[in-house]
Copies of this chain bind each other. A is one copy, B any other.
Amino acid sequence: MAIPRAAQTQRRTRIQEEKQERILEAALDVFSARGFRGSTLDQIAEAAGMSKPNVLYYFRTKEAMHRQLIDRVLFTWLDPLKAFDADGKPESEIRSYIRRKLEMSRDFPRESRLFANEILQGAPHIEDELKGPLKELVDEKAQVIRAWAKAGKIAKCDPYHLIFSIWSTTQHYADFDVQVRAVLGHNLSGAGRFEDAARFLEDLFLRGLGIPKT
């Protein structure tokens, strides 16, 4: 009997894991491009190269897929901020944080858009995670920044809004990619775009925080 759906079993075989991964990959494609409600199981199934009931064999509901994707992204998203080191030099810490976030926009634009879609629509599934783990981490790092300001290492500024501005400027290149491309035109939107953005943002934030370039 078909009691043990793949999604329920504790031990997952190699095949199950591969198929689930293939489905999640397809779901990420679809969800990030069309939003949760705008996506259909048929689209995901087709993108994964299997039938709809087969997809539902591995994930009991559409929401289960989405939930798992969101959980992953949330975890990945916090990573660069965790690396933010209180004992490091402000210049290198901020510079590498910007760069890492920008790299994520370049390398994982679908994940960024999935997250943006979720937040835009009121974050119905992850409000708790935002108010819990995310807030705690940001609070912690805000203290670090505040300490730097007090020590005169960087200009006085609101640490929360600093973090927001780094988030928004870097994610902009993934979430608003279409607009960026349209404005820059094809000649400027290619390979050099990433380096241009990185240089600009590093200059803006370091100078904006009163950190002299070394």
Q: Which residue of B lies closest to A156 (CB)?
A: B203
Contacts of A180 in B (CB 8 A): 164
Q: Are A183 and B160 in contact (CB under 8 A)?
A: yes
A167 interfacial contact with B, CB 8 Å: yes
Q: Are A158 and B196 in contact (CB under 8 A)?
A: yes
Q: Are B135 and A201 in contact (CB under 8 A)?
A: no
Interface segment among A3-11, A17-25, A30-38: the answer is A30-38
A54 interfacial contact with B, CB 8 Å: no
A169 interfacial contact with B, CB 8 Å: yes
Please tell me the size bucket of the interface on A: 35 or more
Leading 4 A-B pairs by shortest Cβ distance: A37-B38, A208-B208, A168-B172, A130-B182
Q: Smallest Cβ distance from A211 to chain B, in angstroms? A: 10
A157 interfacial contact with B, CB 8 Å: yes
Q: Which residue of B lies closest to A164 (CB)?
A: B172
Q: Are B175 and A120 in contact (CB under 8 A)?
A: yes
Q: Are B210 and A207 in contact (CB under 8 A)?
A: yes
Q: Are B120 and A161 in contact (CB under 8 A)?
A: no
A184 interfacial contact with B, CB 8 Å: yes
Q: Which residue of B lies closest to A208 (CB)?
A: B208
Contact of A178 among B122, B179, B185, B208 (CB under 8 A): B122
Q: Smallest Cβ distance from A39 to chain B, in angstroms? A: 8
Contacts of A87 in B (CB 8 A): none
Within 8 A of B (CB), among A172-212: 172-173, 175-176, 178-180, 182-185, 188, 196-197, 199-201, 203-205, 207-210
Contacts of A33 in B (CB 8 A): 121-122
Contacts of A131 in B (CB 8 A): 182, 185
Q: Are B130 and A120 in contact (CB under 8 A)?
A: no
